[in-house]
Amino acid sequence: MRAVDAVMECLKAEGVDVVFGLPGGANLPTYDAFVDGGIRHILVRHEAGGGHAAEGYAKATGKVGVAFATSGPGATNLITPICDAMMDSVPVVFITGQVRTELLGTDGFQEADTIGITMPVVKHSFMIQDPNEIPRAIHEAFHIARTGRPGPVVVDIPQDLSRADINYEPITDVRLPGYQPTLEGNQKQIRQAAKALAAAQRPVIYVGGGVVNANASAELVEFCTTDRFPVTCTLMGLGAFPANHPQWLGMLGMHGTRAANYGMDEADLICAVGARFDDRVTGKLSEFAPRAKFIHIDVDPAEISKNVPAHIPIVGDAKHVLAKLLIEYRALTPDSARLQAWWERIEAWREKHPLRYEDSSDQEIKPQYMIQALYEATGGEAIITSDVGQHQMWTAQYYGFPAPRRWINSGGLGTMGFGLPAAMGAAVGCPDRLVCCVAGDGSVQMNIQELATCAQEGIPIKVFIMNNGYLGMVRQWQELFWDGRYSHVDTGKYPDWVKLAEAYGASGMRFEDKTTLVQDIKRAIATDGPVLVDVRVTREENTYPMIPAGQPAREMVG
């Protein structure tokens, strides 16, 4: 069997139902195999679009996403999605073509050292040197991508090796002696954590994307509600705990709520679950949660005590650990009444500092209102992707995510242009769900070409551009911290989004009136096929509240 046909068999054995990619010289053999391979392939218009689509697919479904590219420029176009998947722990396997082995190292046509270039931003990578290794490498790649702390894995296959005739036998085991993620969590540590939680007077449960990755939302909710623990989620953790729950404090961090940030600041015990104390969460590290002791639950031991020393470290998968923690905690039968004073303090913050904005007195659409209208029009039930900027933060603040895997964005890398292709991937993975993208007028152009893919494939994403005519988040920083000296942030009035949508074979719409906005959004959603909407919003609105970078939480402004 040709090695490339074995690749198809391996993908099917891994349960892959769709691949995003774009062919070229070095992966011509692979693309020949797609003709009869029995795997759906979606032709993207730029490899970065394919990579982000694979991420969107993975985040929405929990399965491993797959993206293909040719050598050289095809592979280098994947760098951003690979790095993005690394930062946000997204399971994606990237399979790249490479020049023939005789050309390796000679600067051959379309040769790039893909393994070398990607090494700092992959969980692991495989350079194929023997065609017989291909099946094993592919299965190992999937295993590594999906287990432990998920992440991107690259498999680089030289063109000549992919044409080789190999003896393919299905592989049922993977042997990785240097890779054994710890999932269970140490029982003694878990017991200690339960005791600390039972004794805490001012606890906060601080939840990150690891809970979503571990599919541990149900365990989280059960644990947090077995007592009255206040819960906050990071940008990546939104939806892991339902936003309409009375114990929910809102998102924490730079644009989080005061209840969440002040809660962390005054807590005596913080239990971090699948979160990594990013600088956007901690603010000034030396003044972060100065009164707290820390329990840190994470599947990646290197995250524990990386930024903030943990008093009770627990290496393990959130699903396993939370289930055990619940049992240990219940056995202690703690008295919830001890949390009464703490809740009173939290309620006071909530009452005094809810998320707020000044609405317009005419038809003007405030960006915050746009998100509220989207929530209303979708009943809060859509999968929402976003780009990066103000619109991303407003979506995180105002679209109360009721469940995990509904909120898909680029957190760690902050990749503009992520939203549209990620929505495409999510819609392919979840065809029965409404998928909307809240895009930035600046960001969306970075992968707008995938609208053609959506039109060709009939992928019905609804893209709502929050059009403020600015690289808004940068403009906000220039206004607040650089004396209002605007430098290259005005994106002007081009392109004409409605015409652009139509040129790509999508439906284009423009909304400018807040009084009809909910109805208008419903109309866009009811329109078949991909839709791109230009939503004109207030140009100079700032995202508040905000912890200025490098400041402690107490210094929140706005």
Ligand X SMILES: Cc1ncc(C[n+]2csc(CCOP(=O)(O)OP(=O)(O)O)c2C)c(N)n1
Name which of 286, 280, 290 is nearest 254 in CA terms. 280
Q: How far is the C-alpha of 438 from the C-alpha of 419, rounded, in Å?
A: 7
- Give the C-alpha separation, 233 to 524, whole Å: 31
Phi, psi at 407, each rounded to 5°: -115, 115
Residue 544 corresponds to which tokens in the numbers above? 């508040």
Which among other proteins, Mg ion, ligand X, none contacts residue 474 (Cβ within 5 to 8 A by kind)? ligand X
Could you give phi then psi for residue 100, rounded to 5 degrees?
-60, 150
Least separation in angstroms between CB 315 and other proteins: 5
Per CB under 6 A, 217 contacts ligand X: no
Q: Which of 55, 227, 265, 441 binds Mg ion (CB under 5 A)?
A: 441
Q: What does the block give as tokens for 158?
A: 């030289």
Residue 456-495 contact track with Mg ion, rule CB under 5 A, x = bound: ------------x-x-x-----------------------
Report if residue 421 touches ligand X, rule: CB under 6 A.
no
- Identify whether the C-beta of residue 516 lies closer than 8 Å to the C-beta of residue 363: no
Question: How far apart are CB 442 and Mg ion at their closest, in Å?
Answer: 5
Residue 301 in the binding site for ligand X (CB under 6 A): no
* Residues touching Mg ion, count (CB under 5 A): 6
Nearer to ligand X, 113 or 479 (CB): 479
DSSP 54-109: HHHHHHHHSSPEEEEE-STHHHHTTHHHHHHHHHTT--EEEEEEE--GGGTTTT-T
Closer residue to ligand X in complex, CB, 342/470: 470
Q: How far is the CB of 366 from ligand X (least distance, A)?
A: 13
Q: Which helix H or strand E contains 407, and what residues bound it?
A: strand 407-408
Please list the residues that pair with 511 across neighbouring strands: 535
Sign of CA dihedral 400, 402, 408, 412: positive
Which partner from the list other proteins, Mg ion, ligand X, none does 185 bind, CB cut-off 5 to 8 Å by kind? Answer: other proteins
To other proteins, the closest distance from the beta carbon of 369 in angstroms equals 43
For residue 116, the partner it binds in Mg ion, ligand X, other proteins, none, with Cβ less than 5 to 8 A by kind, is other proteins
Q: From other proteins, ligand X, Mg ion, none, which one binds at residue 189 (CB under 5 to 8 Å depending on kind)?
A: other proteins
How near is the Cβ of 436 to Mg ion at its closest, in Å?
17
Kindly compute the dihedral angle of the four CA atoms of residues 393, 394, 400, 404, in this order, to the nearest 10 degrees. Answer: -30
Site string for ligand X, 359-398 (x = CB under 6 A): ----------------------------xxxxx-------
Residue 456's binding partner among ligand X, Mg ion, other proteins, none (Cβ under 5 to 8 angstroms by kind) is: none
Cβ atoms within 10 Å, residue 336: 11
- The nearest distance, CB 550 to other proteins, in angstroms, is 19
- The nearer residue to other proteins, 307 or 538, going by C-beta atoms, is 307
Kind and range of the H or E run holding 32? helix 28-36
Task: Indicate the SS3 state at residue 286.
Answer: helix
- Please provide the distance, in angstroms rounded to a whole number, between the alpha carbons at the two ends of the chain: 64
Binding to ligand X by residue 468, rule CB under 6 A?
A: yes
Q: Which residue's CB is nearer to other proteins, number 185 or number 442? A: 185
Following DSSP, what letter does each residue of 206-249 receive, concatenated?
EE-HHHHHTT-HHHHHHHHHHTT--EEE-TTTTTSS-TTSTTEE
537 touches 468 (CB < 8 A):
yes
Q: Which is nearer to other proteins, 225 or 305 (CB)?
A: 305
List the one residue from 21, 91, 411, 440 that touches Mg ion (CB under 5 A).
Answer: 440
Using Cβ positions, the residue closest to Mg ion within the complex turns out to be 472
Picked from other proteins, Mg ion, ligand X, none, the partner binding residue 477 (CB below 5 to 8 A depending on kind) is none
| Contact indicator for 520, 250 with CB cutoff of 8 Å | no
- Distance of closest approach, residue 108 Cβ to other proteins, in angstroms: 19
Residue 414 touches ligand X, criterion: CB under 6 A: yes
Cα torsion at 163, 169, 173, 175 (round to 10°)? Answer: -50
- Minimum distance of ligand X from residue 81's CB (angstroms): 12
64 class by beta-carbon count within 10 Å (0-12 exposed, 13-18 middle, 19+ buried): buried
CB of 150 to other proteins, least distance (A): 13
Among the residue ranges 210-218, 309-317, 472-480, 508-516, the one whose residues contact ligand X (CB under 6 A): 472-480
Q: Based on CB atoms, which residue is closest to ligand X, 270 or 396?
A: 396
Residues that bind ligand X (CB under 6 A): 387-391, 414-416, 440-443, 466, 468, 470-474
Residues that bind Mg ion (CB under 5 A): 440-442, 468, 470, 472
